[in-house]
Structure 1
């Protein structure tokens, strides 16, 4: 199972052949933990039914999981005899879970491993509501629609990773700000989308996952996170802008990401509707949290910036660290 002969190995990471990892985020996530202690780190499925069937306290192999070297060394000594006790369990992740439990170790839940994707169709809602923890893995990419319009699954993820290469720890990180003039709610899922609601929503409602997908394989539509319904009429949904490109300035380190509107055939008010916008430009710096921030992450803030563009077709947004006592709320 393991080659535990090397003293330089700190972690053993498991995933399926269709598990996609973000290596830097994986390394930074595991850096929070002491590898000389016994750790079993991962996350379960988004689907309550799957967790009830396989275990709410089990790290699903599709999303990937990690064992500290100290735990793996002990587990490897008696692993063959242990798994012989569990021929009835499905999958290597279930058997490893059972053997880890026999050693008295429980799951350390790490939301960055959460993208099990036991869903089908449009996964935009899940991706745009990613937690404040770094994205570690993605799974079942072929089970969902391409995450960018007019793309194949392969080209869509290659496009996503063009943003990951520039700022891996910021990918999918959500920043929310409010436009006082138009009463818009703006959600930046960095490196993926900007969504604009033509009304103000409280932050706790914005953070609920938009139910854009369908359950996979007839699984019950009961989830392990808060959801909100999407309007059946696409013209009544938030206006979505997809990432076009990301670039970094070698001088001051400013990162610019550009998002273009995914047009729907909708009628709208050319004065007050966010549909009048064609492009969103987002400015940020490379996210580089220290250990303290990794252990207790805080969502960043954003501001609507004055734009030099004429015609009112472009919006510019700046993402920054929130001030110590700053609240993200609807300003009167």
Structure 2
């Protein structure tokens, strides 16, 4: 890989190159997100952008300060120019190192340049089912995925190639939101919703705070068996407690909203692929989500905006509500659940307003003629959009 960097640099004749991006040939990139990430940095400076492994043993064998080549990394033009001038001596110095990405990291360390970590680069030094990791993706653009041949297919009932092609349907709709976690609550039911946009949606039959939901469920296994501690992230164990394990819905389709009143919205459906095989949560006041089979989620067509001058990114732009088909059928949408929300590190008990994460705001449309008319429209639209067996709907009412 070191010589590839050199050869690519020497082949460049037209000028205008800002970044050199290196990766393995089985790495999946989301190019729009890659561009957005690199735009944050001055390409005239010396930058080495990437991420280390999810596996502690992998980082121990190579370097915790290394951008893993499977996940991919980016080098700014001035850094490559300086690297090429010193490459022969550096390769001779580190000829005993295993792994070209480790050699390059060592060369750049000698030049005084350390890794700038971006959490959207993923080496995936894991085995098994990585759905728990992807359902709690950090608030950073998803840039790359590696080792997809070493893990189970991303979607149940599909093989690896089908799963990747299916994921790309969501990515083509909006790369900026892919895998971004958002959280909302339905307090009357004591339900917690955790959405990984374009991938999965979890319903917990219990109110859980963001501090818990941001920790991945350990559905995956270690890269090398017996390595303890195994992971660079904290994990939640797979409990048999029905209050701690979610109902899981996977991305099913992108619904074209054109002609349905607002071409500025993207509607996605998430469906239950596998039964949870656990009894309902028995906590006081909880309701079972067992009968929910499909959920619709609406987001704007514009790219996701992030606020970077805070301790963590705050995600804006997705509107989410929930209403069961039983309510629609029995009461003609008597209740409309309306919530504009975004993910913010506050407690689930905060009240609605001022950008707070809150429960659903239930509006009694029997007392409001305009909302009642909207309810009838929603009823007719829902009957067209959902299969008869579907019992769930996520919808924002303006």
Q: TM-score, normalised by structure 1?
A: 0.89
CA contact (8 A) 1:197 1:237 kept: yes
> Which 5+ residue runs of structure 1 have no aligned equivalent?
none
> Which 5+ residue runs of structure 2 have no aligned equivalent?
1-5, 345-352, 361-398
CA contact (8 A) 2:71 2:123 kept: yes
CA contact (8 A) 1:258 1:281 kept: yes
For 2:252, the equivalent position in structure 1 comes to 244
For 1:178, the equivalent position in structure 2 comes to 185
Larger Rg: 2
For 1:326, the equivalent position in structure 2 comes to 355
Shift in CA distance, 112/118, structure 1 to aligned 2, threshold 3 Å: same
Shift of 1:158: 0.5
Shift in CA distance, 21/265, structure 1 to aligned 2, threshold 3 Å: closer
- Structure 2 residue aligned with 1:286, among 298, 301, 314? 301
Structure with a larger share of its residues in strand? 1
| Greater displacement, 65-74 / 78-87 | 78-87
For 1:37, the equivalent position in structure 2 comes to 45
Instruction: Provide Cα deviations, 1:16-35, integer angstroms capped at 9, x if missing partner.
Output: 11111001100111011110
Shift in CA distance, 304/68, structure 1 to aligned 2, threshold 3 Å: closer
Shift of 1:233: 7.4
Instruction: Provide Cα deviations, 1:173-216, integer angstroms capped at 9, x if missing partner.
Output: 01100111110111010000010111111110111111111112
CA contact (8 A) 1:301 1:322 kept: no
CA contact (8 A) 1:175 1:300 kept: no
CA contact (8 A) 2:155 2:163 kept: yes
CA contact (8 A) 1:47 1:223 kept: yes
Shift of 1:295: 6.6
Match runs of 1:222-237 below 5 Å: 222-232=230-240, 237=245
For 2:314, the equivalent position in structure 1 comes to 298
For 2:269, the equivalent position in structure 1 comes to 258
1:72 and 2:86 are equivalent in the alignment: no
| Greater displacement, 320-329 / 140-149 | 320-329
Shift of 1:274: 1.1
**Separation in structure 1 between the aligned mates of residue 325 and residue 101 of structure 2, nearest angstrom:** 53
- Structure 1 residue aligned with 2:20, among 9, 12, 15? 12
State the secondary structure of the residue aligned to 2:202.
strand
- Structure 1 residue aligned with 2:167, among 160, 163, 184? 160
CA contact (8 A) 1:177 1:302 kept: no
CA contact (8 A) 1:194 1:242 kept: yes
Match runs of 1:21-60 below 5 Å: 21-60=29-68
Shift in CA distance, 39/273, structure 1 to aligned 2, threshold 3 Å: same
1:193 and 2:200 are equivalent in the alignment: yes
CA contact (8 A) 1:282 1:317 kept: no
Higher relative contact order (CA 8 A, sep 6+): 1
1:212 and 2:219 are equivalent in the alignment: yes
Shift of 1:317: 8.3
**Separation in structure 2 between the aligned mates of residue 119 and residue 322 of structure 1, nearest angstrom:** 28
Q: TM-score, normalised by structure 2?
A: 0.75
Shift in CA distance, 316/223, structure 1 to aligned 2, threshold 3 Å: farther
